[in-house]
Amino acid sequence: MTWRTDVSPWVGAPRTPRAWQADALRAVVAADEDEPVVVRAVMGAGKSVLIAELCALAEVDGDDVLVVSCPTRDLVRQLAKTIGERIGASHVGQFYTSSKDVTQRVIVVCMPSMAALHKALAASGRRCSLWIADECHRTESVTAIDAKELIRPRQMIGFTATPYRSETGKGLSLYDREVYSYGVAEAVRDAVVVPWRVVSWTGGHVAMDEACVDMCRRGTQIGPGVVNALTIDDATTFAEILRESGLRAAPVHSNLSARQVACRIDSLERGELEVVVHVSMLKEGIDMPWLRWMCLRRPVSSRVRFAQEVGRCLRAFGGKSEAVIYDPNDLFGTFKLSYDAVLGGDFEPELDEDAQPSKKADVWAMQLELWLRSALAGEWVSPLTDVAAYLREMTCALEMSGAVERFVAPKQWRDRQMTDKQKGLLSRIFKSLKPTHVRRVPAVHRKALKAACHCAVRHEMSRGQASDLIGTLIAIRKHRGWPDMSSTT
């Protein structure tokens, strides 16, 4: 790969580069052409701006093209727009299910469409001289590895917050080395991100919506904020509840047009709205650095989705000194993710954020099975922390499916020692569960729940963990086996 010498870096760029972007650009350009390299940068650092600058400097001759891949269609559109602002929209094509433009100098493609892109390029006599992979930690998939063999790029550059395989901690197989790293400490130093303050529910035992209305009311005193919802109907209903409580609120979801969504987001930024109730809006591909707070009303059971949503609120903005996270579901207690982990993308186990919660819980259950085997072999080491995380994730999944009623308890209550009443109730539930109920529970969950019950019998649970176990077991008894959680997302 060669780089243009007739264009000076960043001259004419719509944004002034941050120091790290300029340094990383020099490091990438200096790398050998036959050396696939990775740039590591925390969430929100501005990787797309650097990718656009590389597209401006890359020397593409004749029928060669520059391919930029990213995980989703939404990100394709967003990244194509950023690159187009740098080099001109007429030089950027998009390739995914409903858009297949291979005539431009730069092609932004959705990763699952890489094989189809190869066929389209081959048919038009073009080839890839440079492959830039955004979120390149996802290139460990069979789809990405096969795509690399098909398109055979002359040079590869990857961007990610996590330049290693999550299941092993080893480096990414398609890349040779990390050529530049921009970590959390540097991002905080440079005011690229702000610290967070987590606010748990401290009131009494109330319905979830009552707690969230109170939290949103407090949040609006800080500035614009968002609260997540389970479904489109749920978002619409809760937005109405907020309006009835005196707040200027509106829902945002996929049934609205892009223009309607943009209008409501603009209204939130301008202060015409105080809060937006959204469905998966902050998962990826959206930039709202002016957000001051969020309320995690949706009981997500995915670490990935949780980290992505929180990370969106941490981006720096003028006059913003911190991000306030209202956490009625005690998700920070569930996932135990640090500030560094969220921004650095270090949230294992990394699963597809759209996978069913029951499948995510299987991962925890399989890990618990290993501890259970040790216990049966007489090498018991209490897996209390993992049991707690498993139970909280399962409770979230059950709440999302409607199998368990949604209530919120103050964090200080959840952290206290389990009560005698809970011990007695668990004892009665154990006796009331019939073998037919238990047999219908997936085997891997039976083992996980057995480990949880073992902790309960040994009184190694907090009040909140015992409550989660009680709710899960009651749901199993009520549904005469494993509840249907297929409706959860």
User: Dihedral through CA 201, CA 204, CA 208, CA 211, nearest 10?
Assistant: -60
Provide the domain count of the chain. Answer: 3
Distance CA 287, CA 292 (A): 13
Do 303 and 445 lie in a common domain? no
Do 26 and 171 lie in a common domain? yes
* End-of-domain residue from the set 189, 210, 238: 189
Q: Yes or no: say if 364 and 448 are a contact pair by the CB < 8 Å rule.
A: yes
Q: Yes or no: say if 48 and 134 are a contact pair by the CB < 8 Å rule.
A: yes
Do 369 and 309 lie in a common domain? no
Do 220 and 157 lie in a common domain? no
Nearest Cα to Cα of residue 393 among 441, 349, 336, 335: 335
Q: Does residue 484 form part of some domain?
A: no
Q: Does residue 7 form part of some domain?
A: no
Q: Does residue 487 form part of some domain?
A: no
Q: Six-digit token pair at 464?
A: 């909140």
Do 53 and 146 lie in a common domain? yes
Q: Does residue 2 form part of some domain?
A: no
Tell me 91's DSSP state. G
User: Dihedral through CA 161, CA 164, CA 166, CA 167, nearest 10?
Assistant: 180
Instruction: Report CA-CA distances (Å) from 211 to 83, 177, 214, 389, 435.
Output: 43, 48, 5, 22, 38
* End-of-domain residue from the set 344, 379, 407: 344
Q: Does residue 351 form part of some domain?
A: no
Q: What residue has token string 């690399």? A: 148
Do 328 and 393 lie in a common domain? no
Distance CA 308, CA 35 (A): 30
* End-of-domain residue from the set 133, 155, 189: 189
Q: To the nearest 5 percent, what fractions of the chain are helix, strand and coil? A: 45, 15, 35
Sign of CA dihedral 82, 87, 88, 89: negative
The strand pairing partners of 38, in sequence order, are 158, 178
Helix (H, G, I), strand (E, B) or coil at 95: strand
Q: Six-digit token pair at 194?
A: 């702000």
Q: Does residue 286 form part of some domain?
A: yes
Give the model's pLDDT for residue 381: 45
Do 53 and 119 lie in a common domain? yes
Q: Does residue 130 form part of some domain?
A: yes
Do 370 and 467 lie in a common domain? yes
The strand pairing partners of 283, in sequence order, are none
Q: Does residue 489 form part of some domain?
A: no
Do 241 and 144 lie in a common domain? no
CATH number, domain at 291?
Answer: 3.40.50.300
The 293-295 sheet, strands edge to edge: 196-200, 323-327, 293-295, 225-228, 275-278, 249-252
Note down pLDDT in tens along the chain; length 489 residues.
Answer: 689 887 789 999 998 999 999 999 999 999 988 899 999 998 888 999 999 999 999 988 888 999 999 988 888 999 999 999 999 999 999 999 889 999 999 999 998 899 899 999 999 999 999 999 998 877 777 777 888 888 899 899 999 887 654 444 456 778 888 999 998 888 888 988 888 899 989 888 889 999 999 999 999 999 999 999 988 999 999 999 999 999 999 999 989 998 999 899 999 999 999 999 998 776 555 678 999 999 999 877 666 677 778 888 888 899 999 999 999 988 887 676 777 777 776 654 444 434 444 555 555 565 555 555 555 554 444 455 577 777 877 787 787 777 877 788 887 788 889 999 999 999 999 888 888 888 888 777 887 888 888 888 888 889 988 999 999 999 888 888 877 765 544
Distance CA 242, CA 277 (A): 9
Predicted model pTM: 0.68
Do 236 and 305 lie in a common domain? yes
Do 407 and 296 lie in a common domain? no
Q: Which residues, other chains included, contact 67 with Cβ-Cβ below 8 Å and sequence gap of 6+?
A: 106, 107, 109, 117, 128, 130, 131, 132, 151, 153
Owning domain of residue 312: 196-344
Q: Six-digit token pair at 336?
A: 């135990």
Do 154 and 45 lie in a common domain? yes
Q: Yes or no: say if 223 and 275 are a contact pair by the CB < 8 Å rule.
A: no
Helix (H) or strand (E) holding 182: strand 177-182
The strand pairing partners of 67, in sequence order, are 107, 131
The residue length of the chain stands at 489
Nearest Cα to Cα of residue 347 among 309, 312, 306, 388: 306
